[in-house]
Structure 1
Amino acid sequence: MVVDNDGYLSLIEYLTENLSLFIDGTGDTGDETVEDVVTDMVASNIMTVFDQNPELSSAIRFQLLKEADAVVDDLGEVLASAWQAKATNEQVTFLEEYISLIKNLFDSVLAR
């Protein structure tokens, strides 16, 4: 559905091209880890998808939740070295943009 399409693979490549943001990890941080930020943002965006598409069947909703979990798992693998570190403001900004792009993939899949 989402994680097995070319757009998603391109986004993973984009993430790996920007790994330096997560390797350095210096800068102002909040209290949340990278994992917390990713999990919250993905959950928030999937809820937005559901709100925007109230006609979705429970089966499709369940599939989308599985896909969202797969996205979090993939991000956890790619960002493993920074996953438990406090997220910097720069990392949060990047993750906001990145997860918005992932939400766009969900939107485009549902539009078909």
Structure 2
Amino acid sequence: MVVDTDGYNALVDYFIENMDKFKDADDPIEGETVDEFIHELLVDQLMAICDQNKNMKAEIRFMVMREADVIISDLEQALCEVWVKTPTKSQKDFLEEFISLIKNMFDAALSDFR
């Protein structure tokens, strides 16, 4: 649906080009971690997708969830050094943009199922 597409590969390239945002980051003691922040963002976007597609068949909904798991796994692998650290403002901004782009990919893919 999304993760096995050229668009997703281009997003991965975009992510890699911006990995410098995650280098030499501060390690504050308190606050949500990169892991928690990404999960929260992705869950919010998945909920929006489901709200926008109320008639989505269960098998497609499960496909979206499986793909979300793959995306989380990819991000965890890429961000393993900072996964349990508190993200900086610029990291949060980038992650919000990135997850929004992923949501756009899901929106486009789901339009094919209508």
TM-score normalised by the chain length of structure 2: 0.93
CA distance in structure 2 between the partners assigned to 1:30 and 1:90 by the alignment: 17
1:31 aligns to what SS in structure 2? Answer: coil
Where does the alignment leave 5 or more consecutive residues of structure 1 unmatched?
none
Query: Which structure has the highest strand share of the two?
Result: 1
Give 2:51's aligned amino acid. D
CA distance in structure 2 between the partners assigned to 1:4 and 1:54 by the alignment: 25
Ranges of 4+ aligned residues in structure 1 off by more than 2 Å: 26-30
**Residues 97-108 of structure 1 correspond to what in structure 2 (within 5 A)?**
97-108=97-108
Where does the alignment leave 5 or more consecutive residues of structure 2 unmatched?
none
**Residues 7-86 of structure 1 correspond to what in structure 2 (within 5 A)?**
7-26=7-26, 31-86=31-86
Residue 29 to residue 54, structure 1, CA distance change in 2 (3 Å): farther
Count of matched residue pairs: 112
Residue 58 to residue 17, structure 1, CA distance change in 2 (3 Å): same
Contact 1:30/1:88, CA 8 A, preserved across alignment: no
CA distance in structure 1 between the partners assigned to 2:3 and 2:80 by the alignment: 19
Greater shift, 92-101 or 26-35, is seen at 26-35
Taking only aligned residues, the RMSD between alpha carbons, in angstroms, comes to: 1.6
Aligned-pair identity in percent equals 40
